[in-house]
């Protein structure tokens, strides 16, 4: 039901997007509003009074005279690109249900592919940061999965070569419908890895539901409760009710990711997976995804290029 509704609700149309964010001044005004919702605050001294020196796009504090650019201290820091290009990139990335390649992004934005790649990595890093801060609560179904491969019973828990293992966790509502999704790469499906991650993935008191894979025993004592349901494996597991949703979500996400991307290192995998979860978790808020994103981007420190290419 969640998935069906999401496909019916349309995000901001291209025309509506251009009307709202097509001009540089509109984007600057939106960033200003989202960065300083209560009005300008000097980052150096906290004073609220400011002026804008003639012909300079800087805000100068009336008290300490510090000059601040609108983009300083945000992911847009020191960008040579107009904000309209950034906002268009955000629009394309948040509305692409199956992700968008940097080649396609570059083509749509009219920028070179390496530029599009860097923008996309920065945008996905904001999403990853945001997702990392929000643990799942309530009833949470957890499952093992691999990027770059089909789920297969025989290889579970062994970390098949060339594949990136990740945990897929979905919090569910009273009818078993999916609420929030978390996708987290792990080094392997070992108790140690699960114990290390679970404290970040789960809110205190979360009720974890897993299958019989041994690594999930690590949740005992970390989750509020843990119920292991032995399901068999592979296609058979997908038909068993408690795992119906987690497998449906996973199936869609895995086919979307493997359809767009080839090989992912662990850091990149984290960013890509988190960007899918970010979108999924805002599937009922499609009209406000851009302001929501920019609000986070204005609070995310600039990300150096060397950190983007790592992994
Ligand atoms: Zn000041």
pLDDT digits (tens, 9 = 90+) for 100-111: 889 999 999 999
Q: How far is the CA of 288 from the centre of ligand 1 (A)?
A: 32
User: Mean pLDDT across the chain, nearest whole number?
Assistant: 82
Residue range 65-83: mean pLDDT, rounded: 91
Q: How far is the CA of 72 from the centre of ligand 1 (A)?
A: 15
**What are the strands of the beta sheet with 58-61, ordered from one edge?**
50-51, 58-61, 67-69
Q: How far is the CA of 60 from the centre of ligand 1 (A)?
A: 8
Q: How far is the CA of 67 from the centre of ligand 1 (A)?
A: 8
Local confidence band at 304 (pLDDT 50, 70, 90 cut-offs): confident
- Provide the percentage of residues in the chain whose pLDDT is more than 90: 48
For residue 191, is pLDDT > 90?
yes
Considering only 3-12, 94-103, 161-170, 235-244, which range has the smallest mean pLDDT? 3-12
* Domain locations along the chain: 139-263
More confident residue, 245 or 168: 168
pLDDT at residue 254 in the model = 61
Pairing of strands 178-185, 207-210: unpaired
pLDDT digits (tens, 9 = 90+) for 222-260: 999 998 887 655 555 555 555 565 566 566 666 666 555
Residue range 131-154: mean pLDDT, rounded: 77
In this structure, CATH architecture of domain 139-263: 2-Layer Sandwich (3.30)
pTM for this structure?
0.83
For residue 1, is pLDDT > 80?
no
For residue 263, is pLDDT > 80?
no
Owner of token pair 């992004």: 105
Q: How far is the CA of 31 from the centre of ligand 1 (A)?
A: 20
- Provide the percentage of residues in the chain whose pLDDT is more than 70: 79
More confident residue, 211 or 216: 216
Q: How far is the CA of 46 from the centre of ligand 1 (A)?
A: 6
For residue 92, is pLDDT > 50?
yes
Pairing of strands 178-185, 139-147: unpaired
């Amino acid at each position: 039901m969640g998935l069906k509704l999401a496909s019916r609700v349309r995000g901001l149309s291209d025309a509506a997007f251009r009307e709202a964010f097509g001009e540089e001044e509109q984007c600057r005004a939106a960033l200003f509003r989202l960065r300083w919702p209560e009005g300008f605050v000097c980052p150096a001294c906290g004073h609220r009074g400011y002026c804008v020196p003639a012909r300079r796009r800087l805000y100068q504090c009336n008290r300490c005279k510090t000059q601040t650019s609108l983009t300083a201290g945000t992911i847009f820091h020191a960008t040579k690109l107009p904000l309209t290009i950034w906002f268009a990139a955000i629009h394309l990335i948040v509305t692409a249900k199956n992700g968008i390649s940097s080649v396609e992004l570059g083509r749509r934005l009219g920028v070179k592919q390496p530029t599009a790649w860097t923008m996309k990595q920065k945008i996905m890093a904001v999403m990853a940061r945001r997702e990392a801060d929000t643990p799942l609560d309530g009833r949470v179904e957890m499952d093992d999965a691999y990027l770059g491969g089909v789920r297969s019973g025989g290889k579970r828990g062994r970390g098949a070569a060339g594949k990136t293992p990740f945990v897929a966790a979905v919090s569910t509502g009273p009818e078993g419908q999916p609420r929030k999704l978390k996708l987290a790469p792990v080094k392997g499906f070992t108790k140690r890895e699960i114990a290390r991650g679970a404290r970040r993935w789960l809110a205190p008191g979360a009720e974890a539901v897993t299958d019989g894979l041994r690594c999930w025993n690590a949740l005992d004592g970390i989750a509020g409760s843990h119920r292991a349901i032995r399901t068999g494996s592979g296609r058979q597991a997908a038909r068993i009710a408690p795992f119906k949703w987690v497998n449906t979500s996973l199936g869609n996400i895995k086919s979307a990711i493997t359809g767009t991307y080839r090989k992912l290192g662990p850091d990149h995998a984290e960013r890509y997976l988190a960007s899918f979860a970010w979108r999924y978790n805002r599937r009922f808020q499609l009209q406000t995804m851009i302001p929501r994103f920019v609000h986070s981007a204005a609070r995310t420190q600039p990300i150096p290029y060397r950190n983007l290419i790592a992994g």
